[in-house]
A and B are shown apart, each in its own frame.
Chain A
Amino acid sequence: MIQINNLHKSYVMGSNSLHVLKGLDLDIDEGEFVSIMGSSGSGKSTLLNILGILDDYDEGSYYLGGKLMQGLNETKAAMTRNEMIGFIFQSFNLISFKNAVENVALPLYYQKVSRKKRNLIALEYLDRLGLKEWAHHLPSEMSGGQKQRVAIARALISKPKIILADEPTGALDTTTSFEVMDILKEINDEGKTVIIVTHEHDIAAMTKKIIRLKDGVIEEVIKNGDLQLFKDRVRTE
């Protein structure tokens, strides 16, 4: 599903150039449940942005679903994002003056689905996430967990191949965090590739594969079988 070879990315800030990703290689297959970890400055957010086609890279290659993602114009990038990727953000990023249904339906709006039809589909997704009664509430009237569930519904509605979640539990308390992770696990069980960026070990431990970044390269990859070891290590750290 995702193949990354020798990925380089640097940011120019005035006269300084910050080399963030230094020849990163990464393969993620369809249906994987992956978390990307790393301390701040390790390049995990940059990697997520490149994975989400929100940012371009300098060197190397990135294949998404077999297609090279490089030098796309904005319209094409937007289309690819819309079809292939569902985003979940730490701060939910719901549109404040739209109610839950309208927020969830937004990706379908950009696929030119008629209003009636997309609102119907959005309601279905909200129902699946247990938010049917909240369908016509504004984000400001909902709790953090509810907002994140609306955001998840929005990420799912366009039936993307990949769900990219940037610190999806960062703004939530532990109980709600686990609820959200359960939902993401369910989504993964249905066959979708889920990639989470997090710095919380217990959250990462709920995924099936952990990729630890350090200084712009992959430090270690912890696979399913080794997870117990990882959990023990986390406890002692």
Chain B
Amino acid sequence: MFDVDVWQEIFSTIKKNKLRTFLTGFSVAWGIFMLMILLGSGNGLQNGVKEQFADNSVNIMWMWTGETSMPYHGLKEGRPIKFKNDDYTFLKEKSEDLELVSSRFYLPGSIMYTYKNEYGSFETSSCHPALKEMEKVNIVAGRFINDLDMTDFRKVIVIGDNIKKALFKDEDPMGKYIKLNNVPFKVVGVAFDKKRQNERTAYIPVTTAQRIFNGADRVHSFAVTTKMVKTAEEADAITEKVRQQMAQRHNFDPADKRAMGSFNMLAEYIRTMKIFQAIKIFVWIIGIGTLIAGIVGVSNIMLILVKERTREIGIRKALGASPASVIGLVLLESILITTVAGYIGLLFGVSIMEGINLAIEQMLATGGGDGMFFRNPTVDFTTAIASTLILIVSGALAGYLPARKAANVKPIEALRDEN
């Protein structure tokens, strides 16, 4: 079936009908082209949204406290709820659903940063070393807060790139002292994040913050990472469990959102990705619909071709061509047209999406494209392989009816067919 002769026969018929072959192929190429563009765009949108989630670990969860809004166990509403350091210990050691934990103590009022003659007001984030991984803090010089800083209550600070620019200009900040409301902190690291360019955050150990700013063992909020789960329901269950544990420790109704607020990123992430799953299915349906139009076109042309070649098929049969060899001829031609045309469409589609990707990358590299909801709009290898398989199957489908018609050609009738 795959010898040179068969191909020679197919190529000679294709060569005879260049325009027709081109037009037929075009409809298939267009179908695949559209499928690639749609899939690529879907991917781009999905990657863009993923990128937005990528500021933090995807499984991060925040918890903060407020005042109770529901009466609970005879206690009336309006009670303030306060996290303490032992809550940190509990979350870190007793909660099997959580992995990393970092507590935060909000510094009172606005903190004035001073270095020599330069000063400014910046956001101060007190934290545990684990926050680096949880919020993906990108250290460009020095180091982040470490365990020794925590236990020794060291007055060290990691400053954001913007703070460095504001206070130090071109000077090297490492090892220098910044005053936070007149308390000197030694700069041990500089953080820089392309996406957080506008953020003006500095990090200090939470233990130091509590001691210096009269926090005692008060904690305002927690950032934790949950274990990775597959479904939004499982993620919600973790949130619920942690809420219940904290509610029990602090005597409030677990359903009371005002007493303790929480946000589980993983649940949101899974829900968002589910939407994209649906979009993807939708895109496939549209794409395959377009492809079907192409297949019908190919099938149609092949039918005409078989009709035109009835006499030739009749001659071949009279000379000893088996039905199988006739079917093979038509089927292979159909598969060849769809596969080659489809592949061209695939290449075009993928090239355009790669081109768009390149443009986006360049825009990002030059600092533009902030908040871009479109990233890496390309189609992965598996999809390309799947599409190729679909093409071959399509070609076979398109060729099936015409091939059957050809196989049923009666030599006598074909030879009588005077044209």
Contacts and interface: CB of A to CB of B under 8 A. Distances in A.
A78 interface: yes
Contacts, number: 64
A93 B415 contact: yes
Interface stretch (B185-193, B308-316, B357-365, B386-394): B308-316
A139 to B, nearest CB: 12
B148 interface: no
- Grouping DSSP codes into helix (H, G, I), strand (E, B) and loop, the B interface class, with mixed when no group exceeds half, is helix
Contact of B13 (A52, A89, A97): A97
Given A79-B322, A93-B415, A109 B16 contact: no
Contact of A74 (B4, B322, B415, B418): B322
Contact of B319 (A55, A87, A97, A115): A87
Range for the number of chain B residues in contact with chain A: 20 to 34
A93 B13 contact: no
A154 B319 contact: yes
Interface string A113-124: 001000000000
A54 B16 contact: no
Contacts of A91: 418
Given A95-B315, A109-B5, A89 B415 contact: yes
Interface in A55-92: 55, 74-75, 78-79, 81-83, 87, 89, 91
Contacts of A106: 316, 319
A97 B4 CA distance: 17
Contact of A97 (B12, B325, B407, B411): B12
B319 A81 contact: yes
A115 B5 CA distance: 8
Range for the number of chain A residues in contact with chain B: 20 to 34
Q: Which of B314, B323, B410, B412 has the most CB of A within 10 A?
A: B412
Interface in B305-350: 311-312, 314-325
A83 B320 CA distance: 8
B216 to A, nearest CB: 94
Interface string B167-184: 000000000000000000
Contacts of B16: 97
A83 B318 CA distance: 11
B315 A93 contact: yes
B322 A78 contact: yes
A75 B315 contact: no
A158 interface: yes
Given A79-B320, A82-B319, A110-B316, 6 more contacts: A74-B323, A83-B320, A95-B315, A106-B319, A110-B320, A110-B325
Pick the 7 closest A-B CB pairs, nearest first: A82-B320, A110-B320, A75-B322, A54-B412, A54-B411, A78-B322, A74-B323
